[in-house]
Structure 1
Amino acid sequence: MTGARGHRRPGAAATAVLCAVTAAGLYGCSGPGPSEHPPSPTPAPATPPATTPPATTPPAGTSPLTGRPARSGPVLAVKIDNVPAARPHTGLAAADLVYVEQVESGQTRLMGVYSSRLPDRVGPVRSARESDLALLRQFGRPVLAYSGAQGALTPLLRAAPLHLVHEGGTPAAFRRDPRRTAPHNLYLRPVRALATAPDATRARDIGFRFGPAPADGTPVNSRTVRFPAARYTFTWAPAAKAWHVAMDGRPDGPLAPATVVVQHVTVRPSRFHDFLGAVSPYTVTTGSGTAEVLRDGRAHPARWSRPDPDRGTVFTIPAGARLNFAPGQVWVLLTGTAP
């Protein structure tokens, strides 16, 4: 794994503060009934009901993707290989946000989203999928770095609000590692990739809120999330205040997100297939559904909502208030498996 280095850019304008009001329990008193004597006053509860801390938009000088102090630079999304031969990954620990998506044969692929800082290299880089088009619209017009795509998908990629960076069109932004075998040896140079798109959209609000955890939640030491042919285990590390990541039972370097979101979505067949004829799945990231948010050693049931593909995803507790994430790297696993 290569280390990340700071990368400063001009800050975004300060955002307005938006408070979410928690739905608290209501306690009422009845008036005297038809009986001769009025009832005794209802005693006050021994302890106040639990409340959820209000969620606010990240303040100026804070990344809307991590909740940490940072300069919000242009958004770079990188499609990253994730079969066993592609591990360990390079540069993934520097990502602000990591999506896990299902691809052919039940395998998974990662999408690392970078803005706060850039590593020297990221990879191994692999091909794009149709699901990426809707998922990336919430970022405005970001840079998408990928190894290529099948011919039928290429016109859709070119028509999407994306700055496309791939080996065939921008070879200087990539390099091959001779110590690895193809196709698991292609790596991106993020600085060179961003230099090709000076007007790429900077990081903006995509629905995440950061702050104190909800008052409830179930203590959990580890959680395993399964895809048809892959599994991810997140183990809570109190000293690091983060979740250590293992893929298919093996740790992958210093990956340690502060928040893990297991987002239950619809995964259906798409109209595309790979070169072997396997149908590519399409992950639906708009609509609404259930989720589980892991933070601070606890699991919180949640709801997600994204009615508009041009906007981000809102996560709430079952009572309706916004659910705060822990500041730091966020992983979102888009799983079609039953909760």
Structure 2
Amino acid sequence: MRRRTFLLGSAGAAAGSAAAALTGCTIEGNGPGGTGPGEEDGKGGVTGTVLAVKIDNVGPARPHTGLAEASVIHVEQVESGLSRLLAVYAAEDLPPVIGPVRSARETDLALLGQYGRPVLAYSGAQGKLQPLIADAELIARPPERSSGAYFRSADRPAPHNLYLRPARLKPAITARDLTPAGLRFGPPPPGGTPTAVRTVRFPSARFTFTWSAAKKRWQVAMDGAAGALAPATVVVQKTRVRDSRFHDRWGNSSPYTETVGSGTAVVLRDGRAYEAKWERPDARAETVYTSPDGERLSFARGQLWIAYVKR
């Protein structure tokens, strides 16, 4: 696949200031300690590709830190109809601190297959999910496998206060750009419907994207609260969201979002909405986005959000 560079906006400066204000104690893990999930024993060790970080997204977890620098942010449904984010980074865009970090879900494993062999940073996972993580084509880096990379902040209560210092991860994140699934950047396609506001709803969460002609970005509000995040393109990807075989500690089913298959989508860019189709034949393949007549779609340069909604 061809390599493509993501060009990000200037909102990262604000995130950097927020990161500098965080204080807390380091979470000391046990370090890599040999070959583990996603590692190889080859000469020179594993070379990290991109970084994916699982992000808390309930009210007490906001404002977030380090999300403005992410190239792609995936929005997933989790238990009780809430949402979590999966933020993906290239090495040249890594902020000093990212968080709050929360636990992985089964959805993440298939979703991340399109990024090659990424490093996944997450707070942990339930025991029954651990064998699937071990078998996945990724490099798992929870706190116990990442000595000195995580810390707890004193500015908010647990579990919403776990943060990552990505520069301390081993292996280091070395990809200079991303080669994500089926993404092309360029001029907008013809047509589209003028759109000032689009709201994406989960059972217990909502995201509102408001077009700013001055900034040429979509201003993001989460659960009615406006923030500093402003992607250039938003994909609302309609798919099957079903119960998985996993449950949280209170017995709520963990939703599984299918990112392999095909379906319809809406692409928001340049103040317009475009009807689209998506297709991904297997978990190692890229997701291809096309217009209804089959033409590959181009996206605006800048941060990309992909929100997976139940069709």
TM-score, normalised to structure 1, is: 0.77
Q: Distance in 2 between matches of 1:128 and 1:118?
A: 20
8 Å Cα contact 1:141/1:200 also seen in 2: no
8 Å Cα contact 1:221/1:235 also seen in 2: yes
Aligned-residue sequence identity (percent) comes to 58
Per the TM alignment, residue 171 of structure 1 is displaced from its structure 2 partner at its CA by 3.5
Per the TM alignment, residue 273 of structure 1 is displaced from its structure 2 partner at its CA by 0.5
Q: Distance in 2 between matches of 1:145 and 1:288?
A: 28
Matched, 1:312 2:286: yes
Choose the corresponding residue for 1:107, options 82, 85, 92. Answer: 82
Q: Quote the residue 1:323 is aligned against.
A: 297
Q: Distance in 1 between matches of 2:180 and 2:52?
A: 16
Q: Quote the residue 1:285 is aligned against.
A: 259
Deviations 1:68-103 (A, max 9, x none): 7xxxx8300000000011000000010000000000
Choose the corresponding residue for 2:185, options 210, 214, 220. Answer: 210
Q: Quote the residue 1:134 is aligned against.
A: 110
The one-letter amino acid of 2:239's match is V
Per the TM alignment, residue 168 of structure 1 is displaced from its structure 2 partner at its CA by 2.0
Choose the corresponding residue for 1:86, options 45, 58, 61. Answer: 61
Matched, 1:161 2:137: yes
- Unaligned regions of 5+ residues in structure 1, if any? 1-13, 16-57
Matched, 1:119 2:79: no
Superposed, 1:240-319 pairs within 5 Å as: 240-252=215-227, 254-319=228-293
8 Å Cα contact 2:97/2:166 also seen in 1: yes
Matched, 1:145 2:121: yes
Deviations 1:111-136 (A, max 9, x none): 00000400011000000001111001
Q: Distance in 2 between matches of 1:114 and 1:207?
A: 17
The one-letter amino acid of 1:207's match is G
Indicate how the Cα distance of structure 1 residues 170 and 205 shifts in structure 2: closer, same or farther if over 3 A, else same. closer
Superposed, 1:166-245 pairs within 5 Å as: 166-193=142-169, 195-197=170-172, 203-245=178-220
Per the TM alignment, residue 178 of structure 1 is displaced from its structure 2 partner at its CA by 1.1
Q: Distance in 2 between matches of 1:301 and 1:283?
A: 21
- TM-align CA RMSD: 1.9
Per the TM alignment, residue 197 of structure 1 is displaced from its structure 2 partner at its CA by 4.9
Per the TM alignment, residue 158 of structure 1 is displaced from its structure 2 partner at its CA by 1.2
Query: If each structure's helix is expressed as a fraction of its own residues, which one has the higher value?
Result: 2
The one-letter amino acid of 1:184's match is H
8 Å Cα contact 2:188/2:299 also seen in 1: yes
Deviations 1:214-263 (A, max 9, x none): 110000111001011000000001111100000000012x2010000000
The one-letter amino acid of 2:294's match is G
Per the TM alignment, residue 203 of structure 1 is displaced from its structure 2 partner at its CA by 2.6
Per the TM alignment, residue 205 of structure 1 is displaced from its structure 2 partner at its CA by 4.2
8 Å Cα contact 2:100/2:162 also seen in 1: yes
Indicate how the Cα distance of structure 1 residues 316 and 67 shifts in structure 2: closer, same or farther if over 3 A, else same. farther
8 Å Cα contact 1:143/1:197 also seen in 2: no
Indicate how the Cα distance of structure 1 residues 201 and 165 shifts in structure 2: closer, same or farther if over 3 A, else same. farther
Per the TM alignment, residue 200 of structure 1 is displaced from its structure 2 partner at its CA by 7.8
Q: Distance in 1 between matches of 2:175 and 2:130?
A: 20
8 Å Cα contact 1:143/1:200 also seen in 2: no
- Unaligned regions of 5+ residues in structure 2, if any? 9-47
Superposed, 1:67-78 pairs within 5 Å as: 74-78=49-53
Helix, strand or coil at the partner of 2:167: helix
Indicate how the Cα distance of structure 1 residues 201 and 164 shifts in structure 2: closer, same or farther if over 3 A, else same. farther
The one-letter amino acid of 2:106's match is E
8 Å Cα contact 1:286/1:308 also seen in 2: yes
Per the TM alignment, residue 201 of structure 1 is displaced from its structure 2 partner at its CA by 10
Q: Distance in 2 between matches of 1:96 and 1:168?
A: 26
Per the TM alignment, residue 176 of structure 1 is displaced from its structure 2 partner at its CA by 0.6
**Runs of 4+ off more than 4 Å:** 197-202
Deviations 1:144-183 (A, max 9, x none): 0000000000111011111111112224110110111000
